[in-house]
Structure 1
Amino acid sequence: MWFNWLTALTKGVLLMAIQIVTDSTVQLTAEELATLPITVVPLIVRIGNQEYFNDGQDITNTEILTHLINDTELPKTSQPSIGQFLEVFDRLGQNGDSVLCLSLTHFLSGTVNAARQAADMSATDVTVIDSLSIDRGLAFQVITAAKLAKNGAPLEAIIAAVDLHRSHTKIYVFLNTLENLIKGGRLSKAAGGIASLLNIKVMGEVVDGELQVAAKGRGKKFLNKQIDAVIDDIKAVSPAKVGLTHVDNLTTVSEISQRIKAALPETLVTIHEAGPVISTYTGIGALAIEYYTD
């Protein structure tokens, strides 16, 4: 079972640690990063001829908003290189530790493939998992994996917990336009349909790792109706964790947070600014509601 590692400890067996690696589309708080064995490998953002690491320092959330508003050309993004992952895997495994790498969904990036190729090249024992998620949904899996790893859980127990989180997480994305997703190749014109032409408001849902258009309609009234329905679902299932992510839309997500906390005071709700990669494809005003149910 999941706690068999305690038997090994009582027998004096020295167990090497498991290090958790993820990518920079994850939404983690400063406290989570400081207290848990998590290493974040940054994706890359290109603006014109300039290349930046999506690490919160090379280019900030505020700086990317300026480019999204003022530039005629959409910024470009790319997965971390195999070399980036290889350096991290080798460094974390120098003392014999193993690595569990949780990547954003392959439907939105080739990051997981770069991690797998690096794992094959590394001398470290590395397991790579496609989270089929992103943003705070990815964080739910990463945090649970890191907490178990910190407490000495074996790999099979951590993977089982990650699988459970994946199957119990819902992610809804609310967009003012699909233009950026289609331009960036993250959604086909056929999937976007007429919404991309008429600037119709859109609610997307991540289903088995793929972003799908769940509903579309005209005006803010439509979008607010969809948000109300998701909040009602959160109230009904009483999730343990809720993440709210926004692109220059703090007023709306703060109001959503207050409504959830009023109905479910014990529910953990965190608010996050979208990073440069996610902001590039969702556009100004976008928000996401992500929640995990036990």
Structure 2
Amino acid sequence: MIHIVTDSTAQLTEQEIQENQITIVPLEVSFEGQHYRDRVDISRAEFSRRLDTQADTVFPKTSQPSVGRFLEAYQAIIKPGDAIISIHIGSVLSGTAQAAQMAADQIQAPISVIDSGLTDRGLGFVVLKAAELVKTGLGIDDITTQLKAYLPQISLNCFVNSLDYLVKGGRANRAVGFISSLVKLKLQLVMADGKLEVAHKARGEKGMRKLLKQVVDQIVANPKVSRVGLSYVDSHADTDAIEATLKQARPDLEIVNELTSPTIMTHVGPRGLAIIYV
């Protein structure tokens, strides 16, 4: 049997997790020394609420799972003759994949660790693809090869309304954050080839709407796009509007519209959202 493991930044529905028997290893977040395992000790909704009410005075910290957590997860599911495909958040954002690899190196069983270079529903798409391939009866090496070929088909676009959280989380220079607050700078970030890069900058709400519309138009115009993920930090007004537009123009699309993970919330900040598609 080939087992699938991922981390809690993957955007997956409970039904998808159960139907595909996916093992989730949680990342951790902390407020004032209190540690919480994502999706275990704290829900995404609760974290979003606390981020909104407490982050001005107590900024949360996030941490990757320990090697020990991965060892526990692997040992709990592996049996003689089994194999594991462990797929994780891009290393540009977290050391999770490296921790997974260190744990895999300590277990005498075939374990393929994949740094997806993605997160959220982008990571979820890779996990679901792995589940599809496992059901075909392919071996772990062939599945790994096909998954790596699948990664470039996924487009992840993250829209940041304020650089304050990127600055607080150490992802942006403080001077840049100060300047952005003066000019109301908005960013469209993309994750491609394992990198996190600024694709476009805009000023104010009008500029942000233009960036969002460009991505929506690309999806509508491309018949090869089949799956779309919409993720948000707090307000789902924008993602609901995008979902309605997409459903009207492309009723064939499979769309998931959900809160993102605490790790991503912490760096993206209020009214942040993502549009991710295959």
Q: TM-score range by the shorter chain?
A: over 0.9
Q: Cα deviation per residue 1:136-171 (whole Å; 9 max; x = unaligned)? A: 000111001012213422123312331232111111
Q: Displacement of 1:210 after TM fit?
A: 2.2
Radius of gyration: which is bigger?
A: 1
Say yes or no: does 1:23 pair with 2:7: yes
The TM-score normalised by the length of structure 1 is 0.88
State the AA in 1 paired with 2:33.
Answer: N
State the AA in 2 paired with 1:43.
Answer: L
State the AA in 2 paired with 1:97.
Answer: D
**Runs (5+) with no aligned partner, structure 1:** 1-16
State the AA in 2 paired with 1:54.
Answer: D
Q: Evaluate the alpha carbon distance shift between residue 83 and residue 45 of structure 1 in structure 2; reply closer, same or farther with a 3 A threshold.
A: same
Q: Evaluate the alpha carbon distance shift between residue 189 and residue 160 of structure 1 in structure 2; reply closer, same or farther with a 3 A threshold.
A: farther
State the AA in 2 paired with 1:210.
Answer: K
Question: What's the counterpart of residue 70 of structure 1?
Answer: 53
State the AA in 2 paired with 1:186.
Answer: R
Residues 28 and 35 in structure 2, CA contact (< 8 A), matched pair in contact too: yes
Q: Displacement of 1:49 after TM fit?
A: 1.2
Q: Displacement of 1:213 after TM fit?
A: 1.8
Residues 31 and 60 in structure 2, CA contact (< 8 A), matched pair in contact too: yes
**Runs (5+) with no aligned partner, structure 2:** none
Residues 37 and 150 in structure 1, CA contact (< 8 A), matched pair in contact too: no
Say yes or no: does 1:33 pair with 2:17: yes
Question: What's the counterpart of residue 61 of structure 1?
Answer: 44
Equivalent residue runs for 1:215-294 within 5 Å:
215-238=200-223, 239-292=225-278
Residues 45 and 259 in structure 2, CA contact (< 8 A), matched pair in contact too: no
- The percentage of counterpart residues that share the same residue type is 39
State the AA in 2 paired with 1:275.
Answer: S
Say yes or no: does 1:118 pair with 2:103: yes
Residues 184 and 204 in structure 2, CA contact (< 8 A), matched pair in contact too: no
Q: Displacement of 1:105 after TM fit?
A: 0.3
Residues 103 and 112 in structure 1, CA contact (< 8 A), matched pair in contact too: yes
Q: Cα deviation per residue 1:203-252 (whole Å; 9 max; x = unaligned)? A: 21112222222222221110000001001111122301100001122121
Task: Give the total of aligned pairs.
Answer: 275
Separation (CA, whole Å) in 2 of partners of 1:196 and 1:120: 45
Instruction: Tell me how large the CA RMSD over aligned residues is.
Output: 1.8
Q: Displacement of 1:186 after TM fit?
A: 3.0
The TM-score normalised by the length of structure 2 is 0.93
Residues 2 and 134 in structure 2, CA contact (< 8 A), matched pair in contact too: yes
